[in-house]
Amino acid sequence: MEILVCVKRVPDTSENEIGVNSAGTDIDRDDLVYSVNEWDNYAVEEAIQIVDRVGGKVTVVAVGDSESEEVLRREMAMGANDGLLLSDDSFGGSDGKGIATILKAAVKKGNYDLVLTGAQADAGAGQVGGMLAAMLDQPYASLVNSIEIINDKTLKVGREIEGGNQEMNEIQMPCVLSIQTGINEPRYVGIRGIRKVASVEIPVLGALDLGVSSGSVGSAGAKVKVQDYFVPQLGKGAEILEGSTEEIIDKLIELLKVKGGLK
């Protein structure tokens, strides 16, 4: 099975304290540590496991500047076979539709049975998977938390539903799935994997190679634009407990008792 997994380089929330920049247009990106978007990492692990079972190839693709190469290389060290970087000055400032447009062009250049994305990334919009499927005119399932291969045309996929319910679907390939965290346990990248990929060349495709017109992507093509970026004021009735974990637990128990939630 030929699988394409879309991955994004995002600020690592476990390594950074994230704050809003002084202009209030974005988070403060000075000195941030970046890594692969967590959801995407689950998607890559799932793809590797599928290929381990039924054979085939996993390709990871990222839209971004040259620094995005590091997340492609990382996912290749984890076990993806090929990497592909989609990079062009005109791609900067793309909205969700712009990113999906660029990815669609890359999908069209290959012959993929299955395209995986993470359910969402750092911006939290969760748009790309669905838009990409629509543009490709392929079936789509979101928030997928299990994949079973029925035959070379059909998959059975589980979806997480609000309230802890589970839904099972059959879906025809080629298709696009957006992957939820927890679908598997992503492996660690080992030193041997790193050595294998440390010096491989990762191909880069630009707007011309992909046949993407620059007006349709990037800030020029973006129809959704961020207007403001801030941390909301604390509302009334909300109290943030502070201190060590134990102190917080003690305070919480105390509060629950006072309000009658605990006897």
Does residue 216 touch other proteins according to CB under 8 A? no
Do the beta carbons of residue 106 and residue 87 sit within 8 Å? no
- Of 22, 151, 165, 199, the residue at the interface with other proteins (CB under 8 A) is 199
Phi, psi of 164 (to 5 degrees): 80, 10
Give the interface segment with other proteins, choosing from 89-97, 145-153, 176-184, 187-195 (CB under 8 A): 187-195
**205 closest CA partner among 62, 34, 37:** 62
Give the interface segment with other proteins, choosing from 100-108, 191-199, 233-241, 249-257 (CB under 8 A): 191-199
Asked whether the bond before 203 is cis by omega within 30 degrees of 0, the reply is no
**Distance from C-alpha of 42 to C-alpha of 100, rounded to nearest angstrom:** 20
Instruction: Report the residue number, 111 or 244, with the smaller CB distance to other proteins.
Output: 244
Asked whether the bond before 139 is cis by omega within 30 degrees of 0, the reply is no
**Distance from C-alpha of 198 to C-alpha of 213, rounded to nearest angstrom:** 33
Task: Note the helical H segments in 33-68.
Answer: 38-54
- Of 18, 54, 125, 198, the residue at the interface with other proteins (CB under 8 A) is 198
Q: How far is the CB of 182 from other proteins (least distance, A)?
A: 15
Does residue 14 touch other proteins according to CB under 8 A? yes
Give the interface segment with other proteins, choosing from 24-32, 48-56, 72-80, 208-216 (CB under 8 A): 72-80
Does residue 109 touch other proteins according to CB under 8 A? no
* Footprint of other proteins (CB under 8 A): 14, 35, 70, 73-74, 77, 188-192, 194-195, 198-199, 244
